[in-house]
């Protein structure tokens, strides 16, 4: 399955696509596709933007991204190992427009509703991973049966949403490339002092037009979004590099004021950076 900006064409007449990605760095372009995506990250870590939110992903995560939800995986460039992701692509009507509406499949409706904003599976992960591990040896009929079992397990699991707002319009290629350029620049330069002039230039728009454009599509300002990117990267450093001081992490993530960093961190994570570090050190 070839990935294009905002389009993933499905092979003709295939209701379900099983894909294995083995890459040093996962595809880093913002895109959307009509298929629902269920992915198991066997190896890899980095950032995942879904809709209006930035999240961290790591080994063992199971992620669901709904149809036409804009998203981008950005692998940790410092990772030494190959990243491996197993994915099932399908849509609500893959097996006929009434298939998932059958009374026998009523329990799947929670899965489809939650997928609209994306979700990370928190519980029952071992059972779902076991189903993914069986997929390479299965024929198409068996893979479809496994998909139904995966959906059933996710519907019974505790999950965490990946976004709170999704722009429902289907992006054109030009629009997708514009937004992709903006997010790519922010994720690569978050540690620098980015100005409105810089970021509006990346979108080929005036400052006022860019502010309206970004707010409409993410329900937040660009600089609110930039702070979230900085805090998410700070979380990764806090956990993975305990030898770094909080003040140094703050500086490396683009904050010029430690007090502002502590305040924004607590607003987004519900605790101070030091408390966040202690939670991981004690686990």
Report the SS3 class of residue 264.
helix
Identify whether the C-beta of residue 31 lies closer than 8 Å to the C-beta of residue 70: yes
Q: Above 90 in pLDDT, residue 43?
A: yes
9 falls in which pLDDT band (50, 70, 90)? low
* pLDDT digit string, tens, across residues 219-262: 999 999 999 999 999 999 999 899 999 999 999 999 999 999 99
Counting residues of the chain whose pLDDT is more than 90, the rounded percentage is 74
Question: According to the model, what pLDDT value does residue 261 have?
Answer: 97
What φ, ψ does residue 75 adopt, rounded to 5°?
Answer: -65, 150
Scored b (16 or more CB within 10 A) or e, 191-202 reads eeebeeeebbeb
Report the SS3 class of residue 46.
strand
Instruction: Round to whole Å and give the CA distance between 152 and 130.
Output: 14
Q: Which of 52-56, 61-65, 72-76 has the highest mean pLDDT?
A: 61-65
In the chain the domains, ranked by start, together with CATH numbers, are 17-161 (2.60.120.280), 190-281 (1.10.10.60)
């Amino acid at each position: 399955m070839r990935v294009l900006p905002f389009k993933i064409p499905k092979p003709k007449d295939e209701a379900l696509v099983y894909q294995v990605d083995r890459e040093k760095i996962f595809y880093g372009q913002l895109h959307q596709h009509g298929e629902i995506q269920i992915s198991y990250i066997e190896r890899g870590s980095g950032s995942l933007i879904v809709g209006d939110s930035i999240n961290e992903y790591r080994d063992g995560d199971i992620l669901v991204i709904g149809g036409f939800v804009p998203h981008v995986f950005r692998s940790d460039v410092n990772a030494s190992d190959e990243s491996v992701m197993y994915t099932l692509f399908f849509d609500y009507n893959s097996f006929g427009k009434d298939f998932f509406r059958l009374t026998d499949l009523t329990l799947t409706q929670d899965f489809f509703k939650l997928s609209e904003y994306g979700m990370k599976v928190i519980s029952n992960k071992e059972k779902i991973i076991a189903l993914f591990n069986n997929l390479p040896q299965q024929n198409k009929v068996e893979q479809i049966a496994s998909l139904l079992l995966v959906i059933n397990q996710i519907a019974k699991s505790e999950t965490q949403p990946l976004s709170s707002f999704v722009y429902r319009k289907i992006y054109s290629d030009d629009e997708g490339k514009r937004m992709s350029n903006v997010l790519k620049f922010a994720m690569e330069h978050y540690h620098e002092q980015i100005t409105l002039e810089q970021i509006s230039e990346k979108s080929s728009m005036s400052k006022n037009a860019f502010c309206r454009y970004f707010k409409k599509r993410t329900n937040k300002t660009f600089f609110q979004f930039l702070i979230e990117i900085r805090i998410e990267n700070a979380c990764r450093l806090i956990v993975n590099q305990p030898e770094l001081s909080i003040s140094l992490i703050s500086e490396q993530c683009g904050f010029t004021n430690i007090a502002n960093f502590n305040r924004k961190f607590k607003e987004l994570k519900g605790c101070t950076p030091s408390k966040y570090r202690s939670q991981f050190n004690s686990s």
